[in-house]
Chains A and B, each alone.
Chain A
């Protein structure tokens, strides 16, 4: 139960939303068949490589040079990845909204080469990161962006610290800071670069970084470039985090045993491969106890979770200033490109001078900045409508409904009930490709992920829900997913399946 003191002096009590996460373990038989299946693919690949010549590009005029690629890497990419290659890099010809037009292509030689058929097909888009449905070619956001292109051009050709700072960047930073509830913010042209180029300015040699094992590649790269010592804790596991912090504080630096210069905990708001939400209140408790700093990467959570779309701090109802550094990207919920870091004014002033991205990388395009400003104002309700609130509620409703319906079918979905990312476990490589291809013939575009992005035995189909999806579209998708589940055997869950209908509403008391 949470209590709020309102301005008129009365007290409002609110029931705290339960934190429901599920990580059902893989059934033993499935684990065995996945393992055998993967090694069978490797064996078949090995035999194919001996009998047939691969249709790959060969190096010319480089005789006597050390081979450029590792043997296993080449083998994996030619004989494992290549078989399933048609499931990825599918070109699109329209805006990636709730529906997307795909450019059809076929392969006549098992994935070595592709040929465009000349036709296009429209599919329901469950693969793009369009959480609040701002990927629109029409509407006020696009119109505002068009005006800015005419006024300020496409780019500035200069880093921020030289001549790349325009008034729109300052407006964007002020608005972002207000949105996330921090004192100040700084923005960059690319989300990946925001992590990779700014972490080295935050931590350095002699600092300890405690990082979640499932952190994104950009965080890992940034931490490696910083030169700090990295300790990993089990995914979203607070006991593991506590042990790592405890040990770090007691033992200190490796050889000298001096205390660490600083300890930074790096986590994500919503993990895009697991669909889990970070346990923020517990981490804040540990942070206070061990006097560590906290960096939260809200790439997938900003705009997507929380009552007002303000990310994990809003979701848990904590004061944003308790988190030291909030980072996020504008690609997912705002339909634009770029990233930001928000924190105290002193910290952001330090970043303005010391950030590698600020000093050496080009500033954001004005059209992208305007798209973010327009969409952020809509989410905050500053445009005078309740469009933002409607979108946030629609997304929350879609996420919960979709996940519950899948669970009712007996399909294992992992992660938090409220996360807009719904990973459906299929485990086997062959099933990833089969589900993607089968759903594509039914005009549903989904994304399959497997090794090496996920652990070897944990192939999954990742659904990204959007506020732009309607109940009818989701129901249609669920019908085809159920068909695929029956055909391919995806009902792995051993939990009790309820036969009660799942209601499409905001109510918390829906039947499990």
Chain B
């Protein structure tokens, strides 16, 4: 089992490599509910959601997620990667404009490619650069108001960036969203279940009403320890994905046993909020220790509370191949 410890060859290693943030994979309650569901539904669901692939377990999970994130509706996908990669093209089309952080994860990049919209990347977590791009777009809109009336504008960011470990400055993003009339999609694949006093993500951390954000997408593969993904938001936004989300309509629904595991994980998260404090303490402890004890040619990157820590070369040589080799040697050792 890939839990706290992981067996690699003969060695039993402490696992700092998988996304099992809340330790749900080894939880016996989750195993029990998955086995119960297996004995009732079998393994596969044998059909897409529209064609007898919707079980009561799927509907339960969607209701629970919507309730947990204090939003009106939730939609569940069968694979974490497909969630944001199907959600973005469901709304953004060829004539639209998307403003996105340059360090977004690969799944978001695929979603952006599939949307065929005009993509404007702003420097990582740099709100001034984003504002500059927004002002340029506003100028273009003033010159061509007819086109501007038909062009939808989106803003996509991640709660905690997989590629850097830093947190998005949510209040400032929402300010810009309000000012320039953008639709804001936040991908909380990593921050869901890890950030916030009770694991509700960035909205709890910054004390913001979730309805300010048009759509929050998350993953069931990280904190929850199952497989799949979800999007939460208002009825108006989420209902659309049930007909236009490619990964939802044209793919078989998730195996019910994995959904049952996710429901149990959510119950545990609601029942026992102390796990989030433990996780936060671990993250900040590791961050402070790494910052002080790493040798001078290595540095730790990432927000202190982030579960993702990047260790980078303090002075990269510029030669990517040589740097990678050096990092590989460190990893092997």
Please report A residues at the B interface, Cβ cutoff 8 Å: 56-61, 64-69, 77, 81, 88-97, 100, 103, 125, 127-130, 134-138, 141-142, 145-146, 149-158, 162-164, 166, 189-193, 196-197, 216-218, 221, 224-225, 329-332, 334-337, 356-357, 359-362, 364-365, 367-368, 371, 445, 447
Query: For A125, A128, A156, A191, which residue has the most chain B Cβ atoms within 10 angstroms?
Result: A156
The interface residues of chain B lying within 8 Å CB-to-CB of A67 are 152
Measured between C-beta atoms, what is the minimum distance from B32 to chain A in Å?
10
For window 106-151 of chain B, which residues contact chain A by CB distance below 8 Å?
Answer: 106-107, 110, 113-114, 148-151
User: Is A371 in contact with B43, judged by CB distance below 8 angstroms?
Assistant: yes
Chain A interface, DSSP helix/strand/loop, else mixed:
loop
Binding-face segment, B73-81, B196-204, B278-286, B313-321: B73-81
User: Is B183 in contact with A68, judged by CB distance below 8 angstroms?
Assistant: yes
Among B52, B243, B257, the residue within 8 A (CB) of A92 is B52
Binding-face segment, B33-41, B268-276, B288-296, B298-306: B33-41
A150-B31, A447-B52 in contact; A155/B42 too (CB < 8 A)? no
Among A77, A81, A95, A360, the residue within 8 A (CB) of B40 is A95
Measured between C-beta atoms, what is the minimum distance from A438 to chain B in Å?
17
Q: List 13 A-B contacts (CB under 8 A).
A: A57-B234, A68-B91, A90-B52, A92-B54, A96-B46, A157-B18, A158-B2, A189-B79, A189-B227, A335-B44, A336-B255, A362-B81, A367-B255
User: Is A155 in contact with B243, judged by CB distance below 8 angstroms?
Assistant: no
Chain A proximity mask over B6-48: 1 for CB below 8 Å, otherwise 0 = 1000000001011110000110001100110011111111110
A337-B44, A362-B221 in contact; A153/B3 too (CB < 8 A)? yes
**Known pairs A60-B211, A67-B152, A89-B50. 4 more at Cβ < 8 A?**
A157-B20, A158-B18, A190-B247, A192-B246
Please report B residues at the A interface, Cβ cutoff 8 Å: 1-3, 6, 15, 17-20, 25-26, 30-31, 34-35, 38-47, 49-56, 58-59, 72, 78-82, 85, 91, 105-107, 110, 113-114, 148-153, 181, 183, 211, 221-222, 225-227, 234-237, 239-240, 242-243, 246-247, 249-252, 254-255, 257-258, 261
Closest chain B residue, CB of each to CB of A155: B227
A150-B31, A163-B15 in contact; A103/B2 too (CB < 8 A)? no
User: Is B243 in contact with A81, judged by CB distance below 8 angstroms?
Assistant: yes
Measured between C-beta atoms, what is the minimum distance from B329 to chain A in Å?
18
Task: Give the CA-CA distance A95 to B43 in the complex, in Å.
Answer: 9
The interface residues of chain A lying within 8 Å CB-to-CB of B18 are 156-158, 162-164
Task: Give the CA-CA distance A342 to B182 in the complex, in Å.
Answer: 44
Closest chain B residue, CB of each to CB of A141: B43
Measured between C-beta atoms, what is the minimum distance from B73 to chain A in Å?
9
Closest chain A residue, CB of each to CB of B54: A91
User: Is B81 in contact with A221, judged by CB distance below 8 angstroms?
Assistant: no
User: Is A145 in contact with B258, judged by CB distance below 8 angstroms?
Assistant: no
A59-B234, A337-B252, A337-B255 in contact; A157/B2 too (CB < 8 A)? yes
Closest chain B residue, CB of each to CB of A374: B43
